[in-house]
Structure 1
Amino acid sequence: MATAKKAPAKTAPAAKAPATKAAAPAKKRTPNAAFMKALTPSPALAAVVGSAPLPRTEIISKLWVYIKAHNLQDATNKRNINADAKLKELFGKPQVSMFELAGLIGKHVK
Protein backbone atom coordinates (compact mmCIF):
# COMPACT_ATOMS: atom_id res chain seq x y z
CA MET A 1 0.00 0.00 0.00
CA ALA A 2 1.29 3.37 -0.97
CA THR A 3 0.90 6.29 1.37
CA ALA A 4 0.33 9.81 0.21
CA LYS A 5 3.11 12.23 0.90
CA LYS A 6 2.29 15.44 2.67
CA ALA A 7 3.07 18.67 0.88
CA PRO A 8 5.73 20.70 2.62
CA ALA A 9 4.33 23.45 4.82
CA LYS A 10 4.36 26.87 3.23
CA THR A 11 6.28 29.52 5.11
CA ALA A 12 5.04 33.04 5.52
CA PRO A 13 6.77 35.58 3.30
CA ALA A 14 9.49 37.52 5.05
CA ALA A 15 8.39 40.78 6.61
CA LYS A 16 9.27 43.85 4.58
CA ALA A 17 12.01 46.06 5.85
CA PRO A 18 10.78 49.25 7.55
CA ALA A 19 10.17 52.16 5.22
CA THR A 20 13.06 54.51 4.77
CA LYS A 21 10.85 57.60 5.30
CA ALA A 22 9.87 58.32 8.88
CA ALA A 23 6.13 58.41 9.49
CA ALA A 24 4.72 61.92 9.75
CA PRO A 25 3.91 62.86 13.34
CA ALA A 26 0.20 62.80 14.14
CA LYS A 27 -1.34 66.26 13.94
CA LYS A 28 -3.44 67.47 16.83
CA ARG A 29 -7.07 67.65 15.81
CA THR A 30 -8.48 71.17 15.68
CA PRO A 31 -12.07 71.73 16.80
CA ASN A 32 -14.66 72.69 14.21
CA ALA A 33 -15.45 76.39 14.51
CA ALA A 34 -19.16 75.76 13.92
CA PHE A 35 -19.39 73.75 17.15
CA MET A 36 -17.57 76.42 19.14
CA LYS A 37 -19.74 79.35 17.98
CA ALA A 38 -21.84 80.74 20.82
CA LEU A 39 -25.55 80.43 20.07
CA THR A 40 -28.41 82.19 21.82
CA PRO A 41 -31.03 79.76 23.16
CA SER A 42 -34.74 80.33 22.65
CA PRO A 43 -36.85 81.17 25.74
CA ALA A 44 -37.99 77.53 26.00
CA LEU A 45 -34.40 76.24 25.89
CA ALA A 46 -33.19 79.03 28.19
CA ALA A 47 -35.54 77.69 30.88
CA VAL A 48 -33.41 74.53 30.96
CA VAL A 49 -29.83 75.63 30.14
CA GLY A 50 -29.82 79.35 30.97
CA SER A 51 -30.10 82.42 28.78
CA ALA A 52 -26.39 83.08 28.18
CA PRO A 53 -25.08 82.33 24.66
CA LEU A 54 -23.36 78.93 24.65
CA PRO A 55 -21.67 76.67 22.09
CA ARG A 56 -23.81 73.80 20.81
CA THR A 57 -21.67 71.26 22.69
CA GLU A 58 -22.21 73.07 26.01
CA ILE A 59 -25.96 73.24 25.40
CA ILE A 60 -26.14 69.47 24.94
CA SER A 61 -23.97 68.94 28.04
CA LYS A 62 -26.18 71.17 30.20
CA LEU A 63 -29.26 69.44 28.83
CA TRP A 64 -27.86 66.07 29.93
CA VAL A 65 -27.10 67.47 33.39
CA TYR A 66 -30.76 68.55 33.61
CA ILE A 67 -32.00 65.16 32.38
CA LYS A 68 -29.88 63.24 34.90
CA ALA A 69 -30.69 65.62 37.79
CA HIS A 70 -34.43 65.19 37.22
CA ASN A 71 -34.16 61.43 36.53
CA LEU A 72 -35.79 61.71 33.09
CA GLN A 73 -34.09 58.75 31.38
CA ASP A 74 -36.51 55.91 30.76
CA ALA A 75 -35.92 53.11 33.30
CA THR A 76 -36.34 50.24 30.83
CA ASN A 77 -34.61 51.81 27.81
CA LYS A 78 -31.91 54.30 28.84
CA ARG A 79 -31.71 55.63 25.25
CA ASN A 80 -35.09 57.28 25.65
CA ILE A 81 -35.72 60.52 27.50
CA ASN A 82 -39.07 61.18 29.14
CA ALA A 83 -40.02 64.84 28.88
CA ASP A 84 -41.18 66.87 31.85
CA ALA A 85 -43.12 70.13 31.33
CA LYS A 86 -40.04 72.15 30.28
CA LEU A 87 -38.67 69.49 27.93
CA LYS A 88 -42.06 68.74 26.39
CA GLU A 89 -42.12 72.36 25.24
CA LEU A 90 -38.71 71.81 23.58
CA PHE A 91 -39.32 68.37 22.10
CA GLY A 92 -42.98 68.64 21.19
CA LYS A 93 -43.65 65.05 22.30
CA PRO A 94 -43.58 63.11 25.59
CA GLN A 95 -40.58 60.90 24.82
CA VAL A 96 -37.58 61.20 22.49
CA SER A 97 -34.55 59.09 21.67
CA MET A 98 -31.18 60.46 22.72
CA PHE A 99 -30.20 60.37 19.04
CA GLU A 100 -32.95 62.90 18.20
CA LEU A 101 -31.76 65.30 20.89
CA ALA A 102 -29.27 67.38 18.88
CA GLY A 103 -31.68 67.71 15.95
CA LEU A 104 -34.50 68.93 18.16
CA ILE A 105 -32.24 71.45 19.90
CA GLY A 106 -31.19 72.92 16.54
CA LYS A 107 -34.64 74.49 16.19
CA HIS A 108 -34.21 76.39 19.46
CA VAL A 109 -30.87 78.16 18.91
CA LYS A 110 -29.90 81.18 16.82
Structure 2
Amino acid sequence: MATAKKAPAKKAAAKTPSVSQAPAKTPKAKTAAPAKKRTPNAAFMKPLTPSPALAAIVGSTPLPRTEIISKLWVYIKAHNLQDAENKRNINADAKLQPFFGKKQVSMFELAGLVGKHAS
Protein backbone atom coordinates (compact mmCIF):
# COMPACT_ATOMS: atom_id res chain seq x y z
CA MET A 1 0.00 0.00 0.00
CA ALA A 2 1.14 3.53 -0.78
CA THR A 3 1.56 5.95 2.06
CA ALA A 4 0.38 9.54 1.80
CA LYS A 5 2.94 12.30 2.25
CA LYS A 6 2.40 14.67 5.10
CA ALA A 7 2.07 18.34 4.23
CA PRO A 8 4.86 20.52 5.64
CA ALA A 9 3.96 22.29 8.84
CA LYS A 10 2.90 25.90 8.35
CA LYS A 11 4.73 28.59 10.25
CA ALA A 12 2.66 30.60 12.65
CA ALA A 13 2.19 34.20 11.56
CA ALA A 14 4.20 36.63 13.64
CA LYS A 15 1.89 38.62 15.83
CA THR A 16 2.50 42.34 16.06
CA PRO A 17 1.57 43.81 19.41
CA SER A 18 -1.35 46.15 19.32
CA VAL A 19 -1.13 49.63 20.77
CA SER A 20 -2.52 48.52 24.12
CA GLN A 21 -0.07 45.60 24.33
CA ALA A 22 3.01 47.54 23.28
CA PRO A 23 5.58 48.03 26.03
CA ALA A 24 5.78 51.52 27.44
CA LYS A 25 8.62 53.53 25.95
CA THR A 26 10.91 55.15 28.43
CA PRO A 27 12.98 58.15 27.36
CA LYS A 28 16.65 57.23 27.20
CA ALA A 29 19.51 59.65 27.12
CA LYS A 30 21.29 59.45 23.78
CA THR A 31 24.95 58.77 24.05
CA ALA A 32 26.80 60.76 21.44
CA ALA A 33 29.58 58.80 19.83
CA PRO A 34 32.68 60.89 19.16
CA ALA A 35 32.59 62.10 15.57
CA LYS A 36 35.38 60.69 13.44
CA LYS A 37 37.44 63.13 11.44
CA ARG A 38 37.03 62.36 7.79
CA THR A 39 40.37 61.96 6.08
CA PRO A 40 40.55 63.27 2.52
CA ASN A 41 41.44 60.89 -0.27
CA ALA A 42 45.04 61.47 -1.30
CA ALA A 43 44.17 61.24 -4.99
CA PHE A 44 41.77 64.17 -4.71
CA MET A 45 44.24 66.29 -2.76
CA LYS A 46 47.18 65.79 -5.14
CA PRO A 47 47.93 69.09 -6.93
CA LEU A 48 47.32 68.82 -10.68
CA THR A 49 48.65 71.13 -13.37
CA PRO A 50 45.79 72.44 -15.54
CA SER A 51 45.96 72.44 -19.33
CA PRO A 52 46.05 75.83 -21.12
CA ALA A 53 42.28 75.62 -21.80
CA LEU A 54 41.55 74.97 -18.12
CA ALA A 55 44.19 77.44 -16.92
CA ALA A 56 42.27 80.25 -18.63
CA ILE A 57 39.47 79.65 -16.11
CA VAL A 58 41.09 78.48 -12.86
CA GLY A 59 44.65 79.78 -13.17
CA SER A 60 47.90 78.07 -14.07
CA THR A 61 49.06 77.10 -10.57
CA PRO A 62 48.75 73.41 -9.62
CA LEU A 63 45.53 72.79 -7.68
CA PRO A 64 43.83 69.75 -6.14
CA ARG A 65 40.98 68.28 -8.16
CA THR A 66 38.44 69.49 -5.59
CA GLU A 67 39.64 73.08 -5.87
CA ILE A 68 39.51 72.95 -9.67
CA ILE A 69 35.86 71.86 -9.56
CA SER A 70 35.07 74.57 -6.99
CA LYS A 71 36.68 77.30 -9.09
CA LEU A 72 34.83 76.07 -12.17
CA TRP A 73 31.51 76.40 -10.33
CA VAL A 74 32.43 79.87 -9.08
CA TYR A 75 33.11 80.89 -12.70
CA ILE A 76 29.89 79.27 -13.96
CA LYS A 77 27.76 80.96 -11.28
CA ALA A 78 29.46 84.35 -11.69
CA HIS A 79 28.85 84.40 -15.45
CA ASN A 80 25.32 82.90 -15.20
CA LEU A 81 26.18 79.98 -17.51
CA GLN A 82 23.71 77.42 -16.20
CA ASP A 83 20.92 76.72 -18.67
CA ALA A 84 17.71 78.51 -17.64
CA GLU A 85 15.42 75.59 -18.52
CA ASN A 86 17.60 72.72 -17.28
CA LYS A 87 19.95 73.75 -14.47
CA ARG A 88 21.97 70.55 -14.92
CA ASN A 89 23.34 71.81 -18.22
CA ILE A 90 26.11 74.36 -18.49
CA ASN A 91 26.38 76.63 -21.52
CA ALA A 92 29.88 77.38 -22.80
CA ASP A 93 31.16 80.93 -23.26
CA ALA A 94 34.37 81.92 -25.06
CA LYS A 95 36.61 80.67 -22.21
CA LEU A 96 34.74 77.42 -21.58
CA GLN A 97 34.37 76.44 -25.26
CA PRO A 98 37.98 75.10 -25.59
CA PHE A 99 37.64 73.29 -22.24
CA PHE A 100 34.24 71.70 -23.02
CA GLY A 101 34.82 71.04 -26.71
CA LYS A 102 31.12 71.71 -27.39
CA LYS A 103 28.49 74.36 -26.70
CA GLN A 104 26.79 72.67 -23.73
CA VAL A 105 27.70 69.95 -21.24
CA SER A 106 25.95 68.28 -18.34
CA MET A 107 27.18 69.06 -14.84
CA PHE A 108 27.97 65.36 -14.45
CA GLU A 109 30.54 65.60 -17.25
CA LEU A 110 32.65 68.19 -15.39
CA ALA A 111 34.70 65.67 -13.42
CA GLY A 112 35.56 63.77 -16.59
CA LEU A 113 36.56 66.95 -18.38
CA VAL A 114 38.79 67.95 -15.48
CA GLY A 115 40.45 64.54 -15.67
CA LYS A 116 41.26 65.11 -19.33
CA HIS A 117 42.57 68.67 -18.85
CA ALA A 118 44.61 68.25 -15.65
CA SER A 119 47.72 66.19 -15.11
**Short-chain TM bin:** 0.7 to 0.9
Please tell me whether residue 91 in structure 1 is matched to residue 88 in structure 2: no
Q: CA–CA distance in 2 between the matches of 1:96 and 1:45?
A: 15
4+ long deviations beyond 4 Å: none
Structure 1 or 2, whichever has the larger Rg, is 2
For residues 62-101 of structure 1, the C-alpha deviation after alignment (integer angstroms, 9 at most, x for no partner) is 1111111211111111111001122111111111111111
Q: CA–CA distance in 2 between the matches of 1:77 and 1:34?
A: 31
Q: CA–CA distance in 1 between the matches of 2:24 and 2:78?
A: 59
For residues 21-80 of structure 1, the C-alpha deviation after alignment (integer angstroms, 9 at most, x for no partner) is x88633211111111111000011001100000000110111111111211111111111
Q: Which residue type is aligned with residue 84 of structure 1?
A: D
The aligned counterpart of 2:21 is 11
Give TM-score scaled by structure 2 length. Answer: 0.72
Consecutive unaligned residues in structure 1, runs of 5 or more: 1-7
Q: Aligned-pair distance for 1:12? A: 2.6
- Number of residue equivalences: 99
- Please give the root-mean-square deviation of Cα atoms over the aligned residues, in Å: 2.2
The aligned counterpart of 1:100 is 109
1:67 to 47, 60, 76: 76
Please tell me whether residue 47 in structure 1 is matched to residue 59 in structure 2: no
